[in-house]
Structure 1
């Protein structure tokens, strides 16, 4: 799959997508649509499985033509794992770690007309490799820091609710749409957020891995 991604790098959509697919790109509503186009283009079937590949995750994100990220990047929802976070479950045992330990990151340049949008050179990340030792360590630090921040937020009162929690490379913030999906914690025995929340990679993460590739 990595080879197929490399073959598509820096080629405008109009060069290999059908007119209908280009039209679909022009009518993008949700930010994940271009990622879905890539999945279909390289032969993946769309699904809600935990991982896109047998051994890793495909992630796409909006950038400019130089690869500079223009948005944060969604990782995973937190409602089903909230009590794992609040109990500081071991980082490498979490769904979060499973989602990020191996990534194929594909930046998408969305400058100009959608027919001229293109995927840039993919970056393959494996947190077990020495090259990514600092990144892996910082993500673990971020994870425990965020878990502690969530507990601090909720300890302010018996009616306190969650709000944004930040690390250096990742964060948790609101991700929901009407009708909203409140989060219930068995640990706190109450609703702790009136909306669903999710982990995101901050722009600093994409900048770091891109710079690392250029070294």
Structure 2
């Protein structure tokens, strides 16, 4: 039973704050959902559970989770010190038809305008159901953070436009990185080749680096 979408930002934050300190099992039970034994086959389970509890509408559509509020939802697994345990997926990267695409009309820019971060205990030693939700954080990039994101995005997109997508590694970018985004390496999509012709490559996604999201959380909670 999905919850109604929050009518305004105050209601969204009220729902998010009410989850703080609650275990995933409690929320799953309230929604009649079975807790998986582990997340190997259910990688997106926690995010989907939080989306359901908060009334997010977007699902897998390429738009903000709360489009009417201009808010993107991101669950972020953290260790006992509060450090993020993995990079944060933002959106699929366009690999063709990118002429005229600018930072300001990119999906990365759109999604990162305002993010509701929901930290969740991520230590694998804690059974999935017993993991607790942390204090929510509503964040918008500062001018300097936005500048770093823009610079990384533009450099990565330039390499894609030059047909160098297969040379881009996770080390490219200071705060934003490009990585394969598919269930397996057999998945292929069209991209621009070195000669400007279309070639086949693995789908890619934009991810925020751990050091960047750690800085966001540290700045907010310390």
Name 2:191's counterpart in structure 1.
184
Q: Report if aligned partners of 2:24, 2:131 keep a CA contact under 8 Å in 1.
A: yes
- CA positional deviation for 1:67: 2.1
| Equivalent residue for 2:157, pick from 147, 153, 158 | 147
Take 1:117 and 1:198, find their aligned partners in 2: how far apart are those partners?
A: 27
Name 1:7's counterpart in structure 2.
18
Unaligned runs of 5+ in 1: 155-159
3-state SS in 1 of match to 2:35: helix
Q: Residues 89-168 of structure 1 correspond to what in structure 2 (within 5 A)?
A: 89-111=101-123, 112-127=126-141, 132-151=142-161, 154=164, 161-164=166-169, 166-168=172-174
Give CA deviations for 1:15-36 in whole Å, capped at 9, x if unaligned. 4431853x42434323221000
Q: Which contiguous aligned blocks of 4+ residues in structure 1 show a shift greater than 3 angstroms?
A: 14-17, 148-153, 160-163
Change (3 A) 1:39 1:100: same
Name 1:40's counterpart in structure 2.
52
The two structures, once aligned, show a CA RMSD in angstroms of 2.6
Aligned positions, number: 201
Q: Report if aligned partners of 1:39, 1:46 keep a CA contact under 8 Å in 2.
A: no
Give CA deviations for 1:24-78 in whole Å, capped at 9, x if unaligned. 2434323221000011122335622211102121011221133211111111111
Q: TM-score by structure 1 length? A: 0.81
Take 2:139 and 2:205, find their aligned partners in 1: how far apart are those partners?
A: 21
